[in-house]
Chains A and B, each alone.
Chain A
Amino acid sequence: MTKVFKRIYTYNFLLPAAIVYTVIFIVPTVMSFFFSLTRWTLFKWDFIGLENFKTFFQEPSLSIGFKNTLIYAAVTCGLKVVAGLLLGVFLTGKIRTKDYLRSVVFFPVLVSTIAVGIAFGMMMHPTTGLINTTLALFGIEGPDWLGDTRIALLSVAAVDVWKGVGLATVIYIAGILAIPEEYSEALQIDGGNAWNKFWNITVPLSRPAANAVIILAFIGGLRSFDLIWAMTKGGPGFATDVIASIIYKQYQGGFYGLATAGNVILFLFVTAIVYPLSRYLTRKEVDL
């Protein structure tokens, strides 16, 4: 009796969280798998099998969407990993205004993404924006950052990095501070310089931090939406469409079943990329 009670007793603590998780997460997820197989107008639905998936894959902008999603995820993730590491090393070094600078770097993370998007959108205006008027002072004619289809996606990615690098830096700082001092002492005894320390101690031993940054930034990049929507709405034309913005436009058009099918595909796509990536990265971690 007591044994059973003890078992149930512990599960009781799980219950509140489990109920919330089930009601607002598991149930809608299962329902979305169902609605992805229907033509759904919010007022009624017709079961149409895999028709939505077929339509989704025939979407003309889809190939651009997949390509852009991968480019965006890779570019933002790569830059955040490198810039985050460098900033992390810098901000754990012996500098005076360390605390102040740490807050400055982290600050953009706290600002609303939409506000950042709108503000940068104005700064990137080709004729009246701050960036191009500043460049004009030096006699440089700046490009149309968000209007030129060749660079629009990279302009948005740059803003994403500006906004997200603070989080990466904080994770790196935690990782670097967790490296025991003994390693540096051993290095000093062996006569290593600062570069040796960075390359042979900091980089390999902050690997768990790097992995966290890579996974977070990559997932963030794959499902990026808010910043792109605030800055370009997937435009000009379809030039900066990512999978999430294609789905959102379908939802806006009232194609709820189709948009749900798109979300199911996005979910499978993200899982298919991130699960092996995370497996691979965790295997490479070293114990401190």
Chain B
Amino acid sequence: MSKPRKFFALLSSVLMLSGLLAACGGGSSDKENESSPSASGASPSGSASVSASAPAPSESQEKVKLTLLVDNNQDTVIYTKALVDAFQAKYPNITIETETRPTGSEGDNFVKTRLATGDMNDVFFYNSGSLMQALNPEQNMIDLTNEPFQANVIDSFKPTVSINGKIYGAPVGSTMGGGWFYNKKIYAQLGLSVPKTWAELMENNKKIKAAGITAMIGSYKDTWTSQLIMLADYFNVQAQVPNFAADYTGNKAKYATTPAALRGFQKLEETVGYYNKDFLATTYDAGLKMLAEGKGAHYPMLTFAVPALVQNNPDKIDDIGFFAQPGDSADQNGLTVWMPGGAYIYKNTEHPEEAKKFVEFVASAEGVSIMGTVSKPSGPYAIKGAALPDDTPQVVKDMLPYFDNNQTAPALEFLSPVKGPSLEQITVEVGSGKRKAADAAALYDQDVKKQAQQLGLAGW
């Protein structure tokens, strides 16, 4: 074999091997929930599935099949099924085929790929806020600004699914709070009270640790859980620097140089040493179990954990309480709130009217109450006049005073599209004592630059 040919042989084998790597990235969709084998979008005319088997006599409308894409979170799957069943009972001519996708960034890419290849389901549930902004809504979703059901939606939700003054989504379910779960039994046993300042909280941590109990549950094996303390501090940031979100989006304010914002990283740094010994190998599910079983006193987390807690440990739910992450002064104490995800309609759907009916149903008081029968809310609903069910656990009711007294602020990701992808790795380093707060904040400022540029924001 001559030299150049050998070179090309080698070159192409190297290329092929790196090609294999690229192929690893493709996620596969979970189609277990699909009742019929026909893939979404496969039916050419779509509308006319003329199965004569459904003998509803009064039915004059043609039968329509919608496809729905949701994430494969245990709770999502349960309430989606309830919603779909109730909707199909109400509109017998519409059938909905549900498909699940992975959560997290794998799910983000799943959704983006479907949109980019024109293969999206008619209706899809997806995050609101910064993640939704990255989907290019103007090009991919149907404008829902003038739909009558928007009147039912609470006003604070609307900006999180809007771009250039147009609303593209409707809320799915309840809001949630970011803060600290605590075990009431441990608090009672050690005579502790709910802290109103950060110093009191750390004092409690010290006492719990001295009593030989794990003061804080860390579940850093699921890296996203490490961000909670930093993200849940946003109420305190906004209380001190009201313009932070706007300045941050415009590249005028930075975490490293805004003391109130830097505090979030510093607070995380102060918790080093209070975690369970195996916190780097503990998963989110294991963390919830530890909380319910009283193996740890505090767990900084979103209240979206409540439905899972109720489902997995129904007898222990009353042992668990919740408080907002306190600031440095007792008179500025409030809750950072996460908005529910949205239901969106794909721009090229063949059945926009039926899809709108489903979205309207999801965002109605009726839809919300159906969800409430199978899944405990994680906070107040984003639908006007939708009351929490009577059997709502106390841990959720713990959040209500913050809402009633107007002591809430949305998390930064609902006010600014700028969120860096490496935050969870950085917070793992801070929480495990490998990186100092100031250094971490500077690194994160550098990280968000990529995101801002990708979104084409002005000033970056």
Q: Min CB distance, A48 to chain B, in Å? A: 9
A233, A235, A274, A278, most chain B CB atoms within 10 A: A235
- Which residues in chain B, 98-114, are within 8 Å of chain A measured between CB atoms? 105-106, 108-109, 112-113
Indicate which residue in A25, A236, A254 contacts B15 across the interface (CB closer than 8 Å): A25
Whether A233 and B223, one on each chain, are in contact in the complex, defined by CB atoms closer than 8 angstroms, is yes
Are the C-beta atoms of A29 and B421 separated by less than 8 Å? no
Closest to A46 in B: B456
Which residue of B has the minimal Cβ distance to A273? B14
Contacts A127-B278, A147-B281, A234-B425; A253 near B446 (Cβ below 8 A): no
- Among A9-17, A101-109, A262-270, the one that faces the other chain is A262-270
B454 near A: Cβ within 8 Å? yes
Question: Interface size of B by Cβ–Cβ distance < 8 Å?
Answer: 48
B281 partner residues in chain A, CB cutoff 8 A? 124-127, 129, 144, 146-147
Q: Are A237 and B425 in contact (CB under 8 A)?
A: yes
Q: Do B18 and A263 touch (CB < 8 A)?
A: yes
Pair A42/B7 contact, Cβ less than 8 Å: no
Within 8 A of B (CB), among A230-279: 233-239, 244, 248-255, 258, 263, 266-267, 270-271, 274-275, 278
Question: Does A60 sit at the interface, judged by CB under 8 A?
Answer: yes
Nearest CB on A from B222, distance (A) = 10
- Judge whether A267 and B116 touch: CB under 8 Å: no
Whether the Cβ atoms of B11 and A271 lie closer than 8 Å is yes
**Residue B115 CB within 8 A of the other chain:** yes
Report chain A residues within 8 Å CB of B450: 55, 253, 255, 258
B24-A226 in contact (CB<8A): yes
In the complex, A61 Cα to B207 Cα: how many Å?
37
Over the window 1-15 of chain B, the binary record of Cβ atoms lying under 8 Å from chain A Cβ atoms (1 yes, 0 no) is 000000100110011
Q: Do residues A266 and B18 form an inter-chain contact, with CB atoms below 8 A?
A: yes
* Nearest Cβ on chain A to B164's Cβ, whole angstroms: 16
For chain A, the count of residues having a C-beta within 8 Å of the partner chain is 53
A219 at the interface (CB under 8 A from B): yes
Assess the B278–A275 pair: CB atoms within 8 A.
no
Contact in complex: B109, A251 (CB < 8 Å): yes
Minimum Cβ distance to chain B for residue A3 (Å): 24
Query: Which of B18, B278, B450, B453 lies at the interface centre, i.e. has the most chain A CB atoms within 10 A of its CB?
Result: B18
Contacting pair A236 B453 (CB below 8 A) = no
Candidates B17, B136, B422; contact of A43 at CB < 8 Å: B136
B451 within 8 A of A: yes
Residues of B within 8 A of A238 (CB): 425, 429
The answer for the CA separation of A127 and B426 in the assembled complex, in Å, is 25
List B contacts of A44 (CB < 8 A). Answer: 136
Asked if A172 is an interface residue, CB under 8 A from chain B, the answer is no
Contacts of A244 in B (CB 8 A): 21
- Whether A275 lies near B7 (C-beta < 8 A) is yes
A6 and B136 alpha carbons, distance in the complex (Å): 55
Given contacts A55-B450, A254-B134, contact A126 B14 (CB under 8 A): no
Judged by a CB distance under 8 angstroms, whether B185 is at the interface is no
Q: Are A252 and B106 in contact, CB atoms less than 8 angstroms apart?
A: yes
Q: How far is the CB of B21 from chain A (nearest CB, A)?
A: 5
Task: List the 8 closest pairs (A to B, CB-CB), nearest first.
Answer: A253-B421, A147-B280, A237-B429, A252-B105, A42-B116, A43-B136, A127-B278, A126-B278
What are 22 A-to-B residue pairs whose CB atoms are below 8 Å?
A29-B19, A41-B454, A125-B281, A126-B278, A146-B280, A149-B434, A220-B17, A223-B21, A225-B21, A235-B220, A235-B425, A236-B429, A237-B429, A251-B109, A252-B106, A252-B108, A253-B450, A255-B421, A258-B450, A270-B14, A275-B14, A278-B10
